[in-house]
């Protein structure tokens, strides 16, 4: 593809300010649009040696099943070229004044704000989420850049005296070149959650979004150009995990990895980097999160809030959020009332193709379907939803799964144990507080939990015993960007957010100076 053709196609993407316009652009194109890697401050044409071999991946629109673009499966030699571009940019960027880095990142946030609707439209098309959900996530991406652009202007350190003999103080410096790898469920939001602090703290990076949802990452390159990010500071390459991702994280030129995705991939990253002891690792992995509903949260004055929060935590973004509460445990005295009211609320508020989008891919749709087949085989009760028909690529008219509510699911069923990552929730009764805690903690995962109660003492008593990195009480997905984000057990290692992101992207050394 020539540079002029690439510029024209990029301009066409930016021109779409409604879903209908974007859909018409897809329909009017005889061949799917080809995404290009963004390396050294410019887009690299597919025939260029920095891109890849002839291997490409086709991405399909979840709501229709039609192909919308292809992307290169970037090969190891091209991955290394992108890393070298980041390596070359590091000495200058790491020494750039914080005020200058701040101004550039603030400009990125402004440009994202100016193009908010375009990003939301392509995020909705690419991932399958509703447009309203996409707008929320674009707003959070904007906040990522605005927050970290100002956070770095208020740096502080620690100094200590040693018995009048010496003064010691801590000095932080950027850690180097990072691999930033993000998942397909919240593409722009989670990619910028990594890029913003990485660049703010003076590191450079090679970012790889999921090959399933790469469109907004492609558009982001243009934003970085317009914001004046120096060439090589942020590079965006496309491809799968086995080829592109593995070459990226294993490179000895990479000083750190920030990854969000599945637990098995996180384990693979640990193995690939085990011999590189000094490489920084921040891994935010899977979750099978519990929601605990106590009887006091079902009194009339707060019942609507309880049902609303539990439903939001179960079905927002089609259940494709690692923080979703897919295991609901309800105190036995209000169990039947909760199941009845919860089912009625979800049936009214979470309507397929209106307030519930499509799941992200045919492969993921098939995975969810297999779990629902298992539920039927195990005689679970379907209060809502059912087993969808089998799809194949040629016949698919979109990857749609009805919101599904299950009861009578055995404790040892894979449906209760595995991260299904879709619009599927189980509801199980408990007798008392200790049983609720035991059920909640009976998982290999420990990412998040939701606690619904009006008892202030219980909020702390139970909340502090839940094996989860994040516990929400009577709310869900409330975030303050300075708080630590991350999980326990097989849900990952490390924390990000505010000063915790600083720990990921910087190295600290202690200097000892004579007191006199």
Beta carbons within 10 angstroms of residue 431's beta carbon = 10
123, 188 contact by CB (below 8 A) = yes
How far CA 224 is from CA of 180, 195, 231, 293, 342, in Å, comes to 16, 11, 9, 45, 44
202, 94 contact by CB (below 8 A) = yes
Question: How far is 368 from 176, CA to CA, in rounded Å?
Answer: 40
Beta carbons within 10 angstroms of residue 185's beta carbon = 27
- Give residue for tokens 């600290």: 508
Q: Name which of 204, 196, 206 is nearest 176 in CA terms.
A: 204
**Continuous segment of H or E residues that includes residue 171:** strand 166-174
Tell me the two tokens of residue 311.
Answer: 């439903």
**Continuous segment of H or E residues that includes residue 60:** strand 56-60
Tell me the two tokens of residue 217.
Answer: 């990452």
Q: For the chain, what is the radius of gyration of the CA atoms?
A: 24
447, 466 contact by CB (below 8 A) = no
* CA angle at 324 for the pair 318 and 328, rounded to the nearest 5°: 110
Question: How far is 337 from 403, CA to CA, in rounded Å?
Answer: 19
Positive/negative CA dihedral, 247, 138, 326, 296 = positive
416, 409 contact by CB (below 8 A) = yes
341 phi, psi to nearest 5 deg: -70, -40
The DSSP letter of residue 488 is E
The DSSP letter of residue 43 is E
Tell me the two tokens of residue 353.
Answer: 């193709």
**Residues forming the active site:** 284
212, 399 contact by CB (below 8 A) = no
361 phi, psi to nearest 5 deg: -155, 165
């Amino acid at each position: 593809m020539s540079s002029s053709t690439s510029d024209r196609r990029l301009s066409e993407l930016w021109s779409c300010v409604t879903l209908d316009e974007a859909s018409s652009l897809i329909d009017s194109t005889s061949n799917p649009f080809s995404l290009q890697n963004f390396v050294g401050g410019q887009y690299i044409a597919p025939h260029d040696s920095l891109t890849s071999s002839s291997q490409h991946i086709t991405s399909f629109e979840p709501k229709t099943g039609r192909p919308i673009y292809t992307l290169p499966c970037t090969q190891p030699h091209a991955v290394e070229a992108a890393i070298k571009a980041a390596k070359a940019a590091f000495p200058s960027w790491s020494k750039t004044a914080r005020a200058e880095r701040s101004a550039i990142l603030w400009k990125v946030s402004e440009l994202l704000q100016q193009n908010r609707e375009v990003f939301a439209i392509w995020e909705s098309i690419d991932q399958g989420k509703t447009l309203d959900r996409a707008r929320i996530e674009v707003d959070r991406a904007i906040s990522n850049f605005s927050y970290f652009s100002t956070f770095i202007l208020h740096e502080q350190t620690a100094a200590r005296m040693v018995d009048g003999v010496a003064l010691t103080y801590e000095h932080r410096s950027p850690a180097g070149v990072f691999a930033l790898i993000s998942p397909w469920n919240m593409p722009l939001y989670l990619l910028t959650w990594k890029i913003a602090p990485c660049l703010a703290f003076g590191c450079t990076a090679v970012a790889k979004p999921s090959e399933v949802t790469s469109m907004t990452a492609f558009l982001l390159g243009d934003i970085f150009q317009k914001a004046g990010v120096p060439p090589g500071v942020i590079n965006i390459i496309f491809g799968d995990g086995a080829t592109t991702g593995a070459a990226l994280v294993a490179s000895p030129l990479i000083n750190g990895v920030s990854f969000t995705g599945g637990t098995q991939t996180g384990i693979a990253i640990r193995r690939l980097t085990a011999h590189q002891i000094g490489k920084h690792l921040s891994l935010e992995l899977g979750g099978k999160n519990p929601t605990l509903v106590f009887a006091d949260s079902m009194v009339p004055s707060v019942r609507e809030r309880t049902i609303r929060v539990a439903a939001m935590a179960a079905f927002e973004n089609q259940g494709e959020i690692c923080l979703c509460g897919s295991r609901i445990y309800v105190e036995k005295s209000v169990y039947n009332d909760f199941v009845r009211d919860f089912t009625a609320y979800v049936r009214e508020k979470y309507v397929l193709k209106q307030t519930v989008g499509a799941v992200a891919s045919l492969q993921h749709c098939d995975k969810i379907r297999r779990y629902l087949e298992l539920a039927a085989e195990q005689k679970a009760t379907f209060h809502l939803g059912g087993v969808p028909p089998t799809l194949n690529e040629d016949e698919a008219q979109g990857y749609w799964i009805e919101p599904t509510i299950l009861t009578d699911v055995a404790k040892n069923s894979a449906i209760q144990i595995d991260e299904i990552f879709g619009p599927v929730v189980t509801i199980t009764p408990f007798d008392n507080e200790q049983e609720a805690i035991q059920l909640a903690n009976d998982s290999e995962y420990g990412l998040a939990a939701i606690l619904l109660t009006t008892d202030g003492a219980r909020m702390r008593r139970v909340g502090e015993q839940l094996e989860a990195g994040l516990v929400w009480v009577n709310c869900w997905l409330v975030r303050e960007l300075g708080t630590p984000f991350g999980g326990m057990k097989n849900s990952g290692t490390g924390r990000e957010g505010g000063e915790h992101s600083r720990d990921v992207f910087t190295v600290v050394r202690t200097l000892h100076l004579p007191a006199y």
